[in-house]
């Protein structure tokens, strides 16, 4: 049962392990019989509490915390001492907890990471470890890792280069893999590749947790990444690798280089694309239109935007458009204006979306010229969807689709209230970070959150359950369609193009089953196909129940 060292006297883990290993610790929930058998009598308060009673205590203390960052610290500390209780709290209160353990609060936690640091979690692999990366991976205590979230910290949310302080992102994402899709915590491994930082504030911060030197680049960087991937394949051969928050100049090429060498994906490119496509599908259920007839305009042409645009193109092709016709319906505005073919020195990833068209200097001019049905913000430029931009979208469309997706909340292109009030309540809205409901025209609008947590946990579960050799584009396409199908007509009437977060485990199971079916259909699965894929998925999902020791 246990990989960790046992007490020779009892055959059970030692008392120190039982009380200090979060995967074994039950705290005050150790029963009377367990306390006697395990030598815990006197080491705990006399009264035995159930897990439900422990949750009540945790929530009482949690809600007394004065700020979100204090709530984050409280939850991470709970995770470090009692894993099952942490996940029970997270699952039972996912709507309340999601903005704390994930965006937007995780962004603040990364900014303050060195100053709020309590206990290490995950692996830090530094550029100075070159030649010994495999040895570092062997130091991890769990042998059967199935999912790795790895970052080099160069583009954390919309906050930029946070170096090793970006570890909060892999830790948070993997907590959601367990809470939202039931992947056992022992299967998960957060990794930060510390290749330095160019953030001058961190280079001068005496409490920064990483190496204080500029980022390595060029061949040295590529050789380090290659050694890391090679080591993962050797030490954790069944692991799915999720690339997270790599900068544009590395994200696309690393995905292209490794996607056919091991199961991997980039959540900023592909996960964001799938959840946004799902939001568009749901929005079109409201408008009664087809995706192939829409004109989509993006503000921001980085990895998230290009990833979304590429998946939209594939979806439009599935509805009968040619490749050229589909690309022609997707447009981008970047810091220099509308991306058009006549512009010199376009980055490679933007070229498929550069069309023959007169230049437009700004977003409003582009909207006026193109008359888009949907406006998607992935620019990390706060308040760039101005009142005039929103009002113009409302004049062009009966039900304008407005998705300001940049994270955290401080980077959002507009707020939900601005979008609704600027369109007299007609906007179909979804954002990257959550916004509160808005009262307008006597009705309550419930803003959608285009949250990647709707996609990546279920996708990861499907890949793990089928033991897929690679992650295909079709998996993201099917995940998007499945997510949209889980959005009820009641959700749509309230203005939300996504299902409520409290249903996310059920949604993740459906997505996992859809992804696994793709793996079987495409010949990527290494595990025999079960008779009932969905039942097989549900049977594999972790629940945070305490172990019984006697």
Q: For residue 311, give every residue at least 6 positions away whose Cβ sits within 8 Å of its Cβ, in sequence order, or none.
A: 270, 273, 274, 276, 277, 473, 476, 477, 480
Q: Are residues 286 and 246 in the same domain?
A: no
Share of the chain above pLDDT 90, in %: 94
Contact by Cβ (8 Å): 278, 484: yes
Task: Find the CATH number of the domain harbouring 114.
Answer: 3.40.50.10380
147-151, strands of its sheet edge to edge: 123-126, 188-194, 147-151, 240-243, 264-266
Q: Please identify, among 452, 487, 502, the residue that sits at the C-terminal boundary of a domain.
A: 452
Condensed to tens digits (0 to 9), the pLDDT of residues 325-353 reads 999 999 999 999 999 999 998 988 899 99
Q: Are residues 238 and 330 in the same domain?
A: no
Contact by Cβ (8 Å): 93, 68: no
pLDDT score of 2 more than 60: no
Phi, psi of 108 (to 5 degrees): -65, -40
Mode of pairing for the β-strands spanning 438-440 and 443-445? antiparallel
274/478 Cα distance (integer angstroms): 9
pLDDT score of 3 more than 60: no
165/161 Cα distance (integer angstroms): 9
Q: Are residues 301 and 247 in the same domain?
A: no
Q: Please identify, among 79, 99, 119, the residue that sits at the C-terminal boundary of a domain.
A: 99
Q: Are residues 419 and 317 in the same domain?
A: yes
Phi, psi of 347 (to 5 degrees): -65, 150
Any idea of the CA torsion for 237, 240, 243, 244, to the nearest 10 degrees? -130
pLDDT at 4: 43
DSSP helix/strand/coil, 237 = coil
Smallest Cα–Cα separation from 22: which of 118, 125, 164?
118
Q: For residue 505, give every residue at least 6 positions away whose Cβ sits within 8 Å of its Cβ, in sequence order, or none.
A: 91, 179, 180, 181, 182, 541
Q: Is residue 533 part of a domain?
A: no
Count how many residues are written for the chain: 550
Contact by Cβ (8 Å): 369, 297: no
Domain residue limits at 371: 270-452
Beta strand spans in 7-59 (E): none
Condensed to tens digits (0 to 9), the pLDDT of residues 483-509 reads 999 999 999 988 899 999 999 999 999
pLDDT at 12: 74
As given in the structure block, the two tokens for residue 157 are: 């949310």
Q: Is residue 291 part of a domain?
A: yes
pLDDT score of 448 more than 60: yes
pLDDT at 10: 52
pLDDT at 419: 98
β-bridge mates for residue 374, sequence order = 296, 401
As given in the structure block, the two tokens for residue 85 are: 């209780």
pLDDT band at 175 (very low <50, low <70, confident <90, very high): very high
CB atoms inside a 10 Å sphere around CB 99: 21
Cα angle, residue 236 at apex, residues 473 and 21 outer, rounded to 5°: 115
Domain count, the chain: 3
Q: Are residues 239 and 119 in the same domain?
A: yes
Q: What is the mean pLDDT of residues 445-460?
A: 95
**C-alpha of 170 from chain center:** 9
pLDDT at 11: 62
492/453 Cα distance (integer angstroms): 19
Q: Is residue 281 part of a domain?
A: yes
Condensed to tens digits (0 to 9), the pLDDT of residues 143-165 reads 999 999 999 999 998 899 999 99
Phi, psi of 104 (to 5 degrees): -95, -15
Catalytic residue, from 62, 72, 102, 546: name it: 102
Q: Are residues 145 and 185 in the same domain?
A: yes
500/412 Cα distance (integer angstroms): 21
Task: Find the CATH number of the domain harbouring 350.
Answer: 3.40.50.720
Q: Are residues 421 and 304 in the same domain?
A: yes
Q: Is residue 10 part of a domain?
A: no
Determine if the peptide bond prior to 104 is cis (ω within 30°): yes
Smallest Cα–Cα separation from 91: which of 181, 184, 189?
181
Q: For residue 187, give every residue at least 6 positions away whose Cβ sits within 8 Å of its Cβ, in sequence order, or none.
A: 142, 144, 145, 146, 147, 464
Q: Are residues 54 and 191 in the same domain?
A: no
Question: Is 173 noted as a catalytic residue in this protein?
Answer: yes
Phi, psi of 355 (to 5 degrees): -110, 165
pLDDT score of 103 more than 50: yes
Task: Find the CATH number of the domain harbouring 72.
Answer: 1.20.1370.30
Q: Are residues 37 and 115 in the same domain?
A: no
Q: Are residues 183 and 323 in the same domain?
A: no
Q: For residue 193, give every residue at least 6 positions away whose Cβ sits within 8 Å of its Cβ, in sequence order, or none.
A: 125, 126, 150, 151, 152, 153, 224, 225, 228
369/356 Cα distance (integer angstroms): 13
Q: Is residue 501 part of a domain?
A: no
Condensed to tens digits (0 to 9), the pLDDT of residues 71-89 reads 999 999 999 999 999 999 9
As given in the structure block, the two tokens for residue 289 are: 């239109």
Q: Are residues 108 and 159 in the same domain?
A: yes
**CA torsion through residues 271, 82, 90, 157, sign:** negative
Q: Is residue 544 part of a domain?
A: no
Q: Mean pLDDT score of the chain, rounded to an integer?
A: 95
Catalytic residue, from 173, 327, 420, 454: name it: 173
Q: Please identify, among 425, 452, 479, the residue that sits at the C-terminal boundary of a domain.
A: 452
pLDDT band at 13 (very low <50, low <70, confident <90, very high): confident
Predicted TM-score of the model (pTM): 0.93
Q: Which residues of 503-527 are buried (b: 16+ CB within 10 A; e: fewer)?
A: bbbebbbbbbbbbbbbbbeeebbee
Q: Is residue 515 part of a domain?
A: no
pLDDT score of 14 more than 60: yes
Q: Is residue 505 part of a domain?
A: no
pLDDT at 537: 97
Condensed to tens digits (0 to 9), the pLDDT of residues 395-419 reads 999 999 999 999 888 999 999 999 9
Q: Are residues 282 and 396 in the same domain?
A: yes
């Amino acid at each position: 049962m246990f990989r960790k060292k046992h007490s020779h006297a009892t055959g059970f883990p030692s008392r120190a392990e039982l009380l200090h290993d979060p995967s074994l610790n039950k705290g005050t929930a150790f029963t009377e019989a367990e306390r006697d058998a395990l030598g815990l009598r006197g080491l705990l308060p006399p009264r035995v509490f159930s897990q439900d009673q422990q949750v009540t205590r945790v929530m009482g203390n949690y809600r007394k915390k004065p700020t979100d960052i204090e709530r984050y610290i409280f939850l991470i500390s709970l995770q470090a001492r009692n894993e099952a209780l942490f996940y029970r709290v997270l699952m039972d209160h996912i709507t309340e907890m999601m903005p704390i353990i994930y965006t937007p609060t995780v962004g603040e936690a990364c900014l303050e990471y060195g100053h709020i640091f309590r206990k290490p979690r995950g692996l830090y692999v530094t550029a100075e470890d070159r030649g010994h990366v495999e040895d570092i991976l062997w130091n991890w205590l769990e042998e059967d890792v199935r999912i790795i979230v790895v970052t080099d910290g160069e583009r954390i949310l919309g906050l930029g280069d946070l170096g090793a302080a970006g570890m909060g992102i892999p830790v948070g994402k993997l907590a959601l893999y367990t809470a939202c899709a039931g992947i056992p915590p022992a299967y998960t491994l957060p990794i930060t590749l510390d290749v330095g930082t160019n953030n001058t504030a961190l280079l001068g911060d005496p409490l920064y947790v990483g190496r204080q030197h500029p980022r390595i680049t060029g061949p040295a960087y590529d050789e380090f990444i290659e050694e890391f991937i090679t080591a993962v394949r050797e030490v954790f051969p069944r692991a799915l690798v999720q690339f997270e928050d790599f900068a544009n100049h590395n994200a696309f090429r690393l995905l292209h280089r490794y996607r056919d060498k091991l199961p991997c994906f980039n959540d900023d490119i592909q996960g964001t694309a799938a959840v946004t496509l799902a939001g568009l599908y749901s929005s079109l259920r409201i408008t009664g239109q087809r995706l192939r007839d829409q004109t989509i305009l993006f503000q921001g042409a980085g990895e998230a935007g290009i990833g979304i645009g590429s998946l939209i193109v594939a979806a439009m092709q599935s509805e009968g458009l040619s490749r050229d016709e589909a690309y022609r319906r997707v447009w981008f505005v970047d810091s220099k204006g509308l991306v058009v073919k006549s512009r010199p020195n376009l980055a490679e990833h933007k070229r498929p979306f550069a069309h023959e068209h007169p230049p437009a200097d700004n977003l409003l001019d582009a909207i006026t010229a193109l008359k888009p049905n949907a406006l998607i913000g992935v620019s990390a430029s706060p308040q760039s969807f101005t009142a005039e931009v929103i009002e113009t979208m409302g004049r062009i469309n009966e039900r304008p689709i407005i998705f300001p997706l940049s994270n955290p909340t401080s980077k959002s292109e507009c707020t939900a209230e601005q979008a609704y009030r600027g369109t007299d309540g007609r906007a179909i809205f979804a954002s990257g970070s959550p916004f509160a409901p808005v009262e307008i025209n006597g009705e309550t609008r419930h803003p959608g959150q285009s949250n990647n947590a709707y996609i990546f946990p279920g996708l990861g579960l499907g890949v793990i359950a089928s033991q897929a050799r690679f992650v295909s584009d079709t998996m993201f396409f099917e995940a998007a369609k499945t997510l949209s199908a889980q959005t009820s007509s009641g959700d749509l009437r309230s203005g939300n193009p996504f299902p409520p977060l409290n249903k996310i485990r059920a949604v993740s199971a459906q997505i996992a089953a859809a992804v696994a079916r793709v793996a079987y259909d495409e010949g990527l699965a290494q595990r025999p196909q079960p008779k009932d894929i969905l039942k097989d998925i549900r049977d594999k999902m972790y629940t945070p129940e305490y172990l019984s020791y006697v």
